[in-house]
Structure 1
Amino acid sequence: MSSRVALRPRCDRCYLPSHLCLCAEIPRVQTRTRFLLVQHALEIRKKSNTGRVAALALTNATLLTHGSPADVLDSSLFAEPGTWLLFPDGPELPEDTPPPRQVVVLDGSWSQARRMSQRLPTLRLLPRLVLPPPPPGMLHLREPSHPAGMSTLDAIARAVELLEGPQTAAPLARLAQLRVQRIAECGSLNREAMGPGR
């Protein structure tokens, strides 16, 4: 008898185990701001990854891959006027700075995001959208490794709230909470989900 535990089937769309599938709960959120999600290649098939779910919810979003030989990243997209980088730290911008028209979101662990920001030269030149610290009591599947760390979905929800108001962001925030609650309630926390936070 094999000692390997049979893997549960996954949803091909949200990548969660089929019994936790969130597809029926994913809202369609329209934003003025365009979001470019740059997903690290090692995150693509992880159940703990939320970038894919965020991209499914946002009508004005594109999901790109960094670090995969099969997918060449078109960094010219980052050079469009009005593009900012969502990042935990950066210089303060003048108060009269126009809001971004496009936001680049690095989707991966904190160390992966930091490396992507360093290895993609165009990103170094972008103004940074820095979010306020996460509120006490924010639900996490894993402990963040950075003081401002949160899941990609949570970070996008907070960015949308900052740029376009709480009403637009509310469906994304609810989706992020539902995802954590459903996984926790079903006892599906595993080593992958309990790894280093991002």
Structure 2
Amino acid sequence: MPPRAARPPRCPRCNLAIHLCLCAEIPRVETRTRVLLLQHVMEVAKRSNTGRVAALALTNAKLLIHGAMVDAFDPAVLCEPGTWLLFPDGPTAPPDAPAPRQLVVLDANWSQARRMSQRLPALRTLPRLVLPPPEPGMLRLRETSHPSGMSTLDAIARAVALLEGPEAAAPLVRLAALRVQRIADCGTLN
């Protein structure tokens, strides 16, 4: 059996292979809503990690790691007034509720996100922002195990569009499409 080819080096910032690096294309997106990305520890090293790219683009974002014993985050940040959870299931906020000041986004695969939402008591009490299902023909690298599933970057772009308008979300939408196109053109995440 021939030896396995070495993987190309990755960009230390966006974590994609150097030939796919998006760093020069990452916009600076200002939002009123603070985005708190709660990333599952298993997502940190993944090349497909769009949560990291979203955190780089959003000026009002913070990325915290869940499940890392060394850098355990303080769950009190989830209890700040005006905090909502972006999640496809559960109790939605009342229609007359003020817009969230902070939106928690779980950056994980569907089963990890579901477990996080069940294991962190503060998340169970938050009002939910539920996105409509993705439009047919939306560019994706792969199908997800949840009917409303999409990449973290796509979900954040759609949430920003709902909360702050399509113009605010447009740079994130373009970045998500560019990422998918670049990877599809190369046929790999390596």
Classify the TM-score, shorter chain.
Answer: over 0.9
CA distance in 1, matches of 2:93, 2:82: 14
What residue is the counterpart of 2:28 in the other structure? 28
1:71 aligns with 2:71: yes
- 1:78-97 equivalences in 2 (<5 Å): 78-97=78-97
Q: Which residue identity is paired with 1:117?
A: S
Q: Which residue identity is paired with 1:177?
A: A
CA distance in 1, matches of 2:189, 2:72: 33
What residue is the counterpart of 1:106 in the other structure? 106
SS of 2:140's partner is coil
1:15 deviation in Å?
Answer: 0.2
What residue is the counterpart of 1:136 in the other structure? 136
Q: Which residue identity is paired with 2:53?
A: V
Unmatched tracts of structure 1, length 5 or more: 191-198
2:154–2:176: 8 Å Cα contact kept in structure 1? yes
2:92–2:127: 8 Å Cα contact kept in structure 1? no
**Relative to structure 2, which stretch is displaced further, 23-32 or 83-92?**
83-92
What residue is the counterpart of 2:159 in the other structure? 159
Normalised to the residue count of structure 1, the TM-score between the two structures is 0.93
1:38–1:64: 8 Å Cα contact kept in structure 2? yes
CA distance in 2, matches of 1:101, 1:125: 16
1:77 deviation in Å?
Answer: 0.3
1:186 deviation in Å?
Answer: 1.1
2:64–2:73: 8 Å Cα contact kept in structure 1? yes
Deviations 1:79-103 (A, max 9, x none): 1000000000222432211110000
SS of 1:46's partner is coil
Percentage identity across paired residues of the two chains? 74
Unmatched tracts of structure 2, length 5 or more: none
- 1:51-66 equivalences in 2 (<5 Å): 51-66=51-66
2:82–2:102: 8 Å Cα contact kept in structure 1? yes
- Structure 1 residues 34, 129: closer, same or farther in 2, change over 3 A? same
1:175 aligns with 2:175: yes
1:189 deviation in Å?
Answer: 5.0
2:38–2:107: 8 Å Cα contact kept in structure 1? yes
Q: Which residue identity is paired with 1:14?
A: C
Between the two proteins, the alignment pairs up a number of residues equal to 190
Q: Which residue identity is paired with 2:122?
A: T
CA RMSD of aligned residues (A): 1.3
What residue is the counterpart of 2:9 in the other structure? 9
1:141–1:189: 8 Å Cα contact kept in structure 2? no
1:41–1:66: 8 Å Cα contact kept in structure 2? yes
